[in-house]
């Protein structure tokens, strides 16, 4: 475990220094910061739009950070030969792989936490709101986003053991898009009586393989109409468990591929 | 002393597009004795780094067996007693020299700060320990690489081109450090193109060409068979003819009124020198031409490229 933590710590320290990630993070922060100035709606609408828009910014920025950060994690180590000095030590490939992933997720989590903190500050300032009870719920959605982005990072990590970074970028981005935007479409296809059985079978197949990223988008009923949350705690727990289960499966597949990879 | 490294018919085959199979390393049989400095030579693409990677269990051999101190290379306990310095190593640039050592030490579960500092002193980087690696020169990076490779007090070090691309001072520093390792009883396996270094510091060498061992043995045995060149002028024809007739294992030639006698070093030069001194001839030079590793290397590589198999 100590080996994994050492690798994670180094990965984290390196990730937060990567210029490209820092730029994406700064752009995200800037948009979160200027969000109030973009609204021309009524006070009540403003509150909803501000939160929705800012959460969208956090989600988009985090998705970009998750992919850009993860696709280069393993290839960079191979290209720079650091992997050879590490694997020549008593370090198993599995430990290296998990350590890299955890370091990346920690960096991602820190950046998401910073954006969420800014969202709360901006909201408090704009709404003249100082009550913790009113402000704390704003942090709920980003918690599920963090699971969502950790899942996306696991997708990219899994692919990084098999394909080149540029291919991985589009592949992981594609999985995220399909899992987010087309999840509802596939579900409709599956449930529609008039759909051809072959199309239905295909939809079932895709839905059963791809992670449903929509499961973590609880704040937007337009995107996620089926998310009728009766028991919020149970929903959060089940979504987290769903995300963690997918992450575990993806990491296991990635580890098997990485263990067989020659470099 | 036992064997530090043993390989038996170690082979690595890659399958390329079109199902074409290429043997990068083929039936490699090596034996490296404990406590020696072993030079592993070969032209680019000969299979040196692939061999090292197989020995480090970074890649898996297609067939054959490799053991380190009697253990299979995939045995994790082996990784506690070996270390590796890759060619042109890169270290996390945001870290300082001290942090790099702490990081690698943590991979062994070592928390001994004094040990890290002692190693920084050993490689002469103690005063630069708080500088980020990005500010280190190539020689300093190589030295921090050596320091990280000594953290576990390894019994066996693999060094891939340890002096490649270094300036003369850094080059000498690294070479001296490698010699120190031998004094400390460590086994060192060096892959290098710096033949003069190898000749100076190695006990035994192996030359690998196209994935196969072409030569292997003690340097003194491999480099045996030097020559002595004697040059004289104004040598009477009778003496020249006499030497030509007598020296069947040497080459006697005349050029611009000079006689050049080329003898194997197993043949004493006294006979020739006595014959020349007894005449009006003037001896200009007697030069022992020791066989160098460079000669052996070129000879080995050329033999391989002119072999019928290679021609085919």
10-residue mean pLDDT profile of chain A (263 residues): values are 92 90 92 76 65 87 94 90 91 95 96 92 80 79 92 95 92 89 71 78 78 76 54 84 94 93 83
For residue A236, report the phi and psi dihedrals to the nearest 5 degrees: -60, -40
Evaluate whether A44 touches A127 at the Cβ level (below 8 Å): no
B contacts of A89 (beta carbons < 8 Å) = 79, 83, 104, 107-108, 152
Contact B196, B29 (CB under 8 A): no
The reply to whether B145 touches chain A by the CB within 8 Å rule is yes
pLDDT at site A261: 86
B277 CB burial (10 A radius; 0-12, 13-18, 19+): exposed
Q: What's the pLDDT at A7?
A: 95
pLDDT band at B154 (very low <50, low <70, confident <90, very high): very high
| Alpha-carbon distance B94 to nearest alpha carbon in chain A (angstroms) | 7
Is residue B104 less than 8 Å (CB to CB) from chain A? yes
Of A221, A209, A116, A97, which is closest to residue A160 (Cα–Cα)? Answer: A97
Domain ranges of chain A: 2-260
Residues of chain A contacting residue B80, judged by C-beta atoms under 8 Å apart = 90
User: For residues B244 and B295, is the Cβ–Cβ distance under 8 A?
Assistant: no
User: How confident is residue B191, by pLDDT bands cut at 50, 70 and 90?
Assistant: very high
Distances from the Cα of A108 to the Cα of A15, A105, A140, B232, B292, angstroms: 9, 5, 17, 81, 58
Band (B311; pLDDT cuts 50, 70, 90) = very low
Residue B6 pLDDT? 95
Radius of gyration of the CA atoms of chain A, in A: 20
Beta carbons of A81 and B59 less than 8 Å apart? no
Interface contact flag, B76 A84, Cβ < 8 Å: no
Domains and CATH numbers, chain B: 3-222 (3.40.50.300), 227-289 (3.30.70.3100)
**Contact between chains at B95 and A3 (C-beta distance less than 8 A):** no
Q: Could you give the CA distance from residue A254 to residue A100 in angstroms, rounded to a whole number?
A: 12
> Is A3's CB within 8 Å of B152's CB?
no
Q: In whole angstroms, what is the distance from residue B221 CA to residue A17 CA?
A: 54
Q: What is the pLDDT of residue A223?
A: 43
Minimum distance, in Å, between the CA of residue B100 and any CA atom of chain A: 10
ipTM above 0.95, yes or no: no
Is B107 in contact with A89 (Cβ distance < 8 A)?
yes
| Interchain pair A85, B94: CB under 8 A | no
Q: Among partner residues A80, A88, A92, which is closest to B56 by beta-carbon distance? A: A88
- The neighbouring-strand residues paired with B189 are B38, B158
Using a CB-CB cut-off of 8 Å, the residues of chain A touching B58 are: 84, 87-88, 263
Cβ-contact B105, B116 below 8 angstroms: yes
Of the candidate ranges A207-221, B69-83, B266-280, the one whose mean pLDDT is the lowest = A207-221
* Segment B263-269 mean pLDDT: 83
């Amino acid at each position: 475990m100590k080996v994994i933590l050492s690798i994670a710590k180094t990965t984290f320290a390196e990730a937060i220094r990567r210029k490209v990630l820092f730029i994406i993070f700064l752009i995200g922060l800037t948009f979160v910061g200027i969000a109030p100035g973009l609204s021309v709606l009524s006070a009540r609408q403003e509150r909803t739009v501000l939160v929705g828009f800012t959460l969208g910014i956090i989600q988009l920025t985090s998705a970009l950070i998750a992919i850009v950060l993860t696709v280069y994690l393993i290839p960079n180590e191979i290209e720079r030969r650091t992997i050879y000095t590490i694997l020549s030590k008593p370090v198993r490939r599995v430990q290296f792989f998990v350590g890299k992933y955890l370091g990346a997720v920690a960096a991602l989590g820190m950046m998401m936490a910073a954006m969420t903190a800014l969202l709360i500050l901006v909201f408090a300032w704009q709404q003249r709101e100082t009550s913790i009870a009113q402000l704390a719920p704003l942090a709920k959605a980003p918690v599920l986003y963090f699971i969502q982005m950790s899942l996306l990072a696991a997708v990219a990590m899994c692919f990084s053991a098999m394909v080149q970074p540029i291919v991985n970028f589009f592949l992981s981005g594609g999985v995220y898009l399909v899992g987010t935007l087309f999840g509802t479409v596939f579900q409709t296809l599956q449930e529609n009586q008039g759909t051809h059985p072959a199309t239905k079978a295909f939809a079932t197949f895709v839905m059963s393989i791809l992670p449903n990223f929509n499961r973590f988008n609880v704040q937007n009923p337009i995107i996620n109409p089926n998310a009728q949350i009766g028991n919020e705690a149970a929903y959060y727990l089940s979504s987290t468990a769903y995300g963690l289960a997918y992450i575990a499966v993806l990491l296991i597949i990635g580890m098997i591929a990485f263990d067989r990879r020659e470099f | 002393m036992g064997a530090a490294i043993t390989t038996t018919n170690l082979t690595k085959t890659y399958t390329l597009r079109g199902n074409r199979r290429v043997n990068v390393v083929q039936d490699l049989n090596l034996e490296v004795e404990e406590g020696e400095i072993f030079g592993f030579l070969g032209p680019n693409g000969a299979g040196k780094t692939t061999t090292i990677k197989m020995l480090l269990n970074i890649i898996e051999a297609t067939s054959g067996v490799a053991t380190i101190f009697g253990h299979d290379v995939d045995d994790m306990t082996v990784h506690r007693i070996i270390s590796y310095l890759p060619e042109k190593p890169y270290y996390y640039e945001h870290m300082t020299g001290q942090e790099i050592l702490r990081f690698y030490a943590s991979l062994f579960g070592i928390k001994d700060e004094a040990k890290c500092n002692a190693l920084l002193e050993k490689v002469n980087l103690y005063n630069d320990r708080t500088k980020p690696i990005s500010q280190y020169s190539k020689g300093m990076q190589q030295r921090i690489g050596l320091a990280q490779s000594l953290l576990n007090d390894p019994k066996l070090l693999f060094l891939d081109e340890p002096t490649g691309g270094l300036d003369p001072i850094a080059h000498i520093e690294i070479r001296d450090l490698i010699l120190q390792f031998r004094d400390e009883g460590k086994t060192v396996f060096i892959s290098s193109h710096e033949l003069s270094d190898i000749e100076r510091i190695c006990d035994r060498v192996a030359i690998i060409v196209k994935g196969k061992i072409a030569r292997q043995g003690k340097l003194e045995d491999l480099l045996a068979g030097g020559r002595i060149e004697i040059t004289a002028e104004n040598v009477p024809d009778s003496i020249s003819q006499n030497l030509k007739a007598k020296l069947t294992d040497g080459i006697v030639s005349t050029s611009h009124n000079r006689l050049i006698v080329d003898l194997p070093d197993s043949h004493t030069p006294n006979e020739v020198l006595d014959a020349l001194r007894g005449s009006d001839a003037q001896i200009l030079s007697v030069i022992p031409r020791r066989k160098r590793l460079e000669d052996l290397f070129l000879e080995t590589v050329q033999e391989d490229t002119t072999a019928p198999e290679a021609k085919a």
